[in-house]
């Protein structure tokens, strides 16, 4: 019996300040949207990243990839679909699909590593790993 992948959708409306001279969502802001999306996915699982960090488990980004297919514009409502692709004792990999009206406009991948306050790699806590495949 296979477990369903952990996955969640959020909607984000493109803010004026996030556009650029071309009139498009500036490409750096996709990373901010991805971050918000995985935070909300964590919340769906009954955890908050703020608590994790306050307990000394910091998740730092070690790798990111984004492929931009169609531009997003000011005031567009985008869906960011986030999937946990892989979890190791120390790392979490996510995939992101950015959709507008059901059409894929960008996709991304990130790798996060768990570190302590000094930035040293450490194992993800048990209470995190137990939750990771259970959506509320």
Residues 93-132 binding a copy of itself (CB under 8 A) are 119
Task: Choose, by CB under 8 A, the member of 5, 11, 55, 60 that binds a copy of itself.
Answer: 60
Nearest 10 degrees: CA dihedral of 80, 40, 93, 75? 20
Of residues 4 and 17, the one with the C-beta less far from a copy of itself: 17
Of the residues 48, 56, 116, 121, which one makes contact with a copy of itself according to CB under 8 A: 48
Check binding of 4 to a copy of itself (CB under 8 A): no
* Binder of a copy of itself out of 1, 2, 4, 17 (CB under 8 A): 17
Q: How many residues form the binding site for a copy of itself (CB under 8 A)?
A: 38
51 annotated active-site: no
Task: Of 71, 63, 118, 128, give the one whose Cα is nearest residue 93.
Answer: 63
Three-class secondary structure of residue 19 per DSSP: strand
Return the SS3 of 25.
strand
Q: Which helix (H) or strand (E) holds 21?
A: none
Which of 85-117 are b and which e, b meaning 16 or more Cβ less than 10 Å from the residue's Cβ? eebeeebbebbbbbbbeeeebbbbbbbbbbbee
Residue 82: CB minimum distance to a copy of itself, A: 15
| CB closer to a copy of itself out of 23 and 102 | 23
Q: Identify which of 113, 101, 17, 21 has the alpha carbon closest to the alpha carbon of residue 64.
A: 113
Which positions touch a copy of itself (CB under 8 A)? 15-17, 19-24, 26-29, 31-32, 35-36, 39, 48-50, 53, 58, 60-69, 71, 73-75, 119
């Amino acid at each position: 019996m296979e477990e369903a992948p952990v996955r969640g959708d959020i909607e984000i409306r493109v803010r004026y300040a996030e556009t650029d001279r071309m009139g498009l969502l500036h490409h750096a802001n996709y990373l901010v949207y991805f971050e918000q999306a995985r935070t909300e996915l964590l919340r769906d699982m009954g955890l908050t990243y703020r608590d994790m960090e306050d307990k000394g488990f910091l998740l730092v980004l070690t790798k990111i990839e984004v492929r931009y297919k169609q531009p997003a514009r000011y005031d567009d409502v985008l869906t960011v679909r986030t999937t946990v692709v892989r979890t190791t004792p120390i790392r979490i990999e996510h995939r992101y699909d950015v959709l507008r009206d059901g059409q894929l406009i960008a996709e991304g991948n990130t790798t996060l590593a768990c570190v302590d306050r000094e930035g040293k790699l450490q194992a993800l806590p048990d209470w995190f790993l137990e939750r990771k495949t259970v959506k509320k």
